[in-house]
Amino acid sequence: MSAIICKDLCKTFRQGEEVITGLDNVSLSIDAGEFVCLSGPSGSGKTTLLNAMGGLDTPDSGEITVGSQRLDQLGKGELADIRLNSIGFVFQAYNLIPVLSARENVEFIMQVQGVPAAQRGQLAEQVLADVGLQGMETRLPAELSGGQQQRVAVARAIASKPRLVLADEPTANLDTHSAAQLMDLFVALNEDKGVTFVISTHDTRVMGYARRLVRLQDGRLISDEAQQPHGMAQA
Amino acid sequence: MGGVSRIVAVLAWRNLWRNYRRTLIMLLAIGIGVWAMIFMSALMRGMTDQMVHNGLAVLPGEVQIHHPRYRSDPSVVNSMPSPTGELLAALEKPPVSAWAARVRVPAVIASERDSRGVTLLGVDPAAERALGSLPDEILQGRFLTDAADRGVVLGASLARKLDTELGKRVVIMSQDPDNNVADRGSRVVGIYRARLASNEEQFVYAGREVLQQMLTIGTAVSEVAVSANDYRQVDSWAPAIEDAAGDNLEVLTWMELDTFLSSMLSMQDGFTLILMVVIFVALSFGLVNTLAMAVFERVREIGLMQALGMRPSLILYQLLLESLYLLVLGLILGNGLAWLTIKPLESGIDISGVAQGMEMMGMGTTLYPALAYQDMLMSTAVVIVLGLLASLLPAWRAARLDPVRALNKT
Ligand SMILES: Nc1ncnc2c1ncn2[C@@H]1O[C@H](COP(=O)(O)OP(=O)(O)OP(=O)(O)O)[C@@H](O)[C@H]1O
Ligand SMILES: [Mg+2]
């Protein structure tokens, strides 16, 4: 079953007089349970594509289907509901709400989703333990390292029980050790729970974890290959 | 919805204290604004209360009963019989707290030196005392002892003008129902002082029975004044008196008798509201600015919340709630300050230094601020309604942020 189908996606941005190409006829299909890396130089359209897949931004033309829903045909409110209930996001930075503790950040989405309190608390404890943050539940984001913050974001993404996790350069601000830890976590989640992952990066260490590597350039898809994941070792 | 409203409430509350210095300043500003609203309206209410009070002291009573033609021609011809039967029964039961029947006629008073036109009041001292319509203060001598007292009591400034004094004789003259001059000599048994000098010169008190005899009107009186102790409530009980009085008498409330006073009173709430709105509009610039700053500083996390699937309406709700917390805290502060500052002043503020000319408006030289719950309620309503309206703009703009752009803001 396909988790994501993109068909002839086009997106341009206007900056004054200039028209900038974000996506240029991108077609791509990702199956449920895949672990995909989007790579390419800066400005190649990785973020634009991820935003389209996550219902954060609508393409100018083309079709995009996530699960059974055509995102390009939905309104803002419906897109918000899809983001809330079906997609987990991990951004490059500013992932957490500063006034909420690690645990509250994880619970936040569940509260908006309407998960009952008892279940919520237990699940939050558990996912924080899964990402290796037991004992840090009550810390505020400012009291956590960059890697720990990213792991809280991952914990939050998993806690919402998404079918799909979209991560935009999740390791960009992390040292090698933290980056490896985070990627191992992603792989484990993908293998154990069957969550589909799409991760954008221009970090070759990260690409080593992917079973499928998609390259973009100037908004165009230039290659799409399956590969044997090898982790960081052979990067 | 329990989980959502809880998290939104937590976010709103914690965000409020994120920049606690700014919040405290804004809180102080709202508190002082609310204090000013209540304090100013307490002063205004004190003034109108006093105007009405002084006005009623002259009238007096909240309801008056007359012969239908008395008000256009206040002569003895238009007297009314002393209350009996059904009317008497109505006057003797609650909510009526006091009533007095008096003779009230235009007259001339003459001393050995001078004469003046005055209003002669033939009263029953006990009934007038219950009504609270006796002169404010007896400076010399005494007030009348009963309705048959043969002396007269003059205002201090009238005594001065007549060049007479306690113990001297004066002559009072009026007309009897047959247009003959009725007069009698009386001794000045008391000199009184009124809060308004003009009253001192106008009203001369004599025993009711003595005047009835002099005017040869039997037991007839000019008017019956009725009080139930709360002039604002008069409309609730006046109709019962009117029914009991029958068709041959005119029953009027003070609002009908003194249209100036009643229009003052009815305009007061309007004035208070305008005053509060003006104060709040000045405040709201600060409020909008504070909220706009808060939104500006938090663009990224607002974008994040939206990206994670929080609907714009929840963002709007969260910011309005934050504003509501601020407003409610400001209101508590302002009401507390108002209570603390007004309560000690309710015994009166001496404004004699600045009050020259206030007397014309029916006010004395002491101001009694009146803390009224309705003013506190009105200020609360103004602050919350206008405050939320003013917050709507920045909150709306936050809710409309595009999550992608907001997240990328550097
Ligand atoms: N909001 C925007 N306004 C104008 N141009 C934009 C906007 N967002 C993206 N672009 C442009 O679209 C193109 C694709 O941008 P995108 O952010 O998708 O690249 P990227 O592959 O994610 O780059 P990076 O690796 O630097 O994150 C770039 O040329 C970028 O400048
Ligand atoms: Mg990018």
For residue A166, what is the domain's CATH number? 3.40.50.300
Q: Is residue A70 part of a domain?
A: no
Q: Is the pLDDT of residue B247 over 90?
A: no
What is the C-alpha to C-alpha distance for residues B14 and B41, in angstroms, rounded to an integer? Answer: 34
Q: Is the pLDDT of residue A123 over 60?
A: yes
Question: Residue B261 half-sphere exposure, CB side, CA atoms within 13 Å?
Answer: 23
Nearest CA in chain B to A93: B407
Q: Is residue A232 part of a domain?
A: no
Q: Could you give the 3-state DSSP secondary structure of residue A168?
A: strand
Band of residue A204 on the pLDDT scale cut at 50, 70, 90:
confident
Structural domain containing residue A91: 2-64+75-226
What is the C-alpha to C-alpha distance for residues B258 and B262, in angstroms, rounded to an integer? Answer: 6
Break chain B down into helix, strand, coil percent, rounded to 5: 55, 20, 25
Cβ–Cβ under 8 Å, residues B144 and B153 = yes
Q: Which of A56, A84, A94 sits opposite B404 (nearest CB)?
A: A56
What is the C-alpha to C-alpha distance for residues B338 and B164, in angstroms, rounded to an integer? Answer: 49
Q: Is the pLDDT of residue A6 over 70?
A: yes
Q: Quick one: what percent of chain B has pLDDT higher than 90?
A: 20
Q: What does B165-222 look like in DSSP terms, one character per residue?
A: -TT-EEEEEEE-TTS-EEEEEEEEEEEEE-SSHHHHHHEEEEEHHHHHHHTT-TT-BS
Q: Is the pLDDT of residue B132 over 80?
A: no
Task: Indicate which atom in ligand 1 lies nearest the CA of residue A14.
Answer: 4
Q: Is the pLDDT of residue A217 over 60?
A: yes
Say what the pLDDT of residue B356 is. Answer: 56
Among candidate residues B105, B58, B59, the one with its CA nearest the CA of residue B78? B105
Kindly give the distance from the C-alpha atom of residue A47 to the centroid of ligand 1, in angstroms, as a whole number.
Answer: 7
> Rounded to an integer, what is the distance from CA B167 to the centroid of its chain?
39
Say what the pLDDT of residue B59 is. Answer: 61
Strands of A69-70's sheet in order across: A18-31, A2-15, A61-66, A69-70
Among candidate residues B339, B275, B367, B376, the one with its CA nearest the CA of residue B43? B367
What is the C-alpha to C-alpha distance for residues B84 and B86, in angstroms, rounded to an integer? Answer: 6
| Mean pLDDT across chain B | 82
Select, from the ranges A174-188, B25-39, B53-67, B249-263, the one with the highest average predicted confidence (pLDDT).
B25-39
Say what the pLDDT of residue B284 is. Answer: 87
Q: Which of A80, A111, A156 sits opposite B7 (nearest CB)?
A: A111
Cβ distance of B3 and A116 shorter than 8 Å? yes
Lowest mean pLDDT segment, chosen from A53-67, B90-104, B159-173, B395-409:
B90-104
Say what the pLDDT of residue B69 is. Answer: 82
Lowest mean pLDDT segment, chosen from A180-184, B147-151, B163-167, B193-197:
B193-197
Nearest CA to ligand 1 atom 30: A43
What is the C-alpha to C-alpha distance for residues A129 and A103, in angstroms, rounded to an integer? Answer: 11
Spell out which chain B residues touch chain A, with contact meaning CB-CB distance below 8 angstroms: 1-4, 6-7, 10-11, 14-15, 18, 300-301, 304-312, 314, 403-404, 407
What is the C-alpha to C-alpha distance for residues B374 and B177, in angstroms, rounded to an integer? Answer: 50
Nearest CA in chain A to B2: A114
Cα–Cα distance list, B176 to A60, B5, B87, B124 (Å): 102, 81, 26, 20
- The structural domain count of chain A equals 1
Among candidate residues A6, A21, A2, A15, the one with its CA nearest the CA of residue A220? A21
Say what the pLDDT of residue B188 is. Answer: 87
Range A195-210 average pLDDT? 90
Lowest mean pLDDT segment, chosen from B58-72, B177-191, B368-382:
B58-72
The ligand minimizing its distance to the Cα of A44 is: 1
Q: Is residue A164 part of a domain?
A: yes
Task: Indicate which atom in ligand 1 lies nearest the CA of residue A50.
Answer: 18
Distance from CA of B15 to the nearest CA of A (A): 7
Band of residue B357 on the pLDDT scale cut at 50, 70, 90:
low
Any B CB within 8 A of A119 CB: no
Residue B121: what residue type? Answer: L
A215 lines ligand 1 (CB under 6 A): no
Q: Is residue A130 part of a domain?
A: yes
What is the C-alpha to C-alpha distance for residues A28 and A17, in angstroms, rounded to an integer? Answer: 31
Locate A74 and state its tokens.
């939905």
Q: Is the pLDDT of residue A97 over 90?
A: yes
> Rounded to an integer, what is the distance from CA B267 to the centroid of its chain?
11
Contacts of A87 in chain B (CB under 8 A): 309
Say what the pLDDT of residue A235 is. Answer: 43
A55 lines ligand 1 (CB under 6 A): no
Handedness of CA A94, A96, A98, A102 (dihedral sign): negative
A44 lines ligand 1 (CB under 6 A): yes
Question: How does DSSP classify residue A56?
Answer: S
Say what the pLDDT of residue B364 is. Answer: 58
Cβ–Cβ under 8 Å, residues B94 and B61 = no
Say what the pLDDT of residue B378 is. Answer: 87
CB neighbourhood size of B357 (10 A): 8
Assembly ipTM: 0.92
Spatial CB neighbours of B203, under 8 Å, sequence gap ≥ 6: B58, B118, B119, B121, B135, B155, B194
Range B114-120 average pLDDT? 86
The ligand minimizing its distance to the Cα of A45 is: 1
Say what the pLDDT of residue B194 is. Answer: 80
Delimit the domains of chain B by residue range. Answer: 2-55+262-407, 61-257
Pick the more confident residue, A123 or A233.
A123
Phi and psi, residue B24, nearest 5°: -65, -40
Burial of residue B248 (number of CB atoms within 10 Å: 0-12, 13-18, 19+):
exposed
Any B CB within 8 A of A77 CB: yes
Contacts of B3 in chain A (CB under 8 A): 110-117, 120
Say what the pLDDT of residue B362 is. Answer: 52
A26 lines ligand 1 (CB under 6 A): no
Handedness of CA B56, B57, B62, B64 (dihedral sign): negative
Cβ–Cβ under 8 Å, residues B51 and B261 = yes
Kindly give the distance from the C-alpha atom of residue A173 to the centroid of ligand 2, in angstroms, as a whole number.
Answer: 13
Phi and psi, residue A34, nearest 5°: -75, 160
Partners of A21 in the beta sheet? Answer: A12
Question: Residue B308 half-sphere exposure, CB side, CA atoms within 13 Å?
Answer: 32
What element of type H or E holds B32?
helix B20-58
pTM, entire model: 0.74
Q: Could you give the 3-state DSSP secondary structure of residue B357?
A: coil
Range B307-313 average pLDDT? 91
Total beta-carbon pairs less than 8 A apart between chain A and chain B: 78
Question: How does DSSP classify residue A201?
Answer: -
What is the C-alpha to C-alpha distance for residues A25 and A44, in angstroms, rounded to an integer? Answer: 13
What is the C-alpha to C-alpha distance for residues A48 and A46, in angstroms, rounded to an integer? Answer: 5
Spatial CB neighbours of B340, under 8 Å, sequence gap ≥ 6: none
What is the C-alpha to C-alpha distance for residues B118 and A12, in angstroms, rounded to an integer? Answer: 94
Residue A85: what residue type? Answer: N
A48 lines ligand 1 (CB under 6 A): yes
What is the C-alpha to C-alpha distance for residues A159 and A125, in angstroms, rounded to an integer? Answer: 10
A14 lines ligand 1 (CB under 6 A): no
Question: Could you read off the pLDDT of A144-166 as tens digits, one per residue?
Answer: 998 899 899 989 998 888 889 99
Say what the pLDDT of residue B363 is. Answer: 54
Any B CB within 8 A of A109 CB: yes
Break chain A down into helix, strand, coil percent, rounded to 5: 35, 30, 35
CB neighbourhood size of B92 (10 A): 10
Q: Which residue in A49, A97, A106 has the most chain B C-beta atoms within 10 A of its own C-beta, making it the best mutation to test that interface?
A: A97
Locate B183 and state its tokens.
């007069």
Q: What value does the CA radius of gyration of chain B take, rounded to a whole number of Å? A: 31
A43 lines ligand 1 (CB under 6 A): yes
Q: Is residue A80 part of a domain?
A: yes
Range A196-209 average pLDDT? 90
What is the C-alpha to C-alpha distance for residues B394 and B377, in angstroms, rounded to an integer? Answer: 27
Cβ–Cβ under 8 Å, residues A19 and A12 = yes
A18 lines ligand 1 (CB under 6 A): no
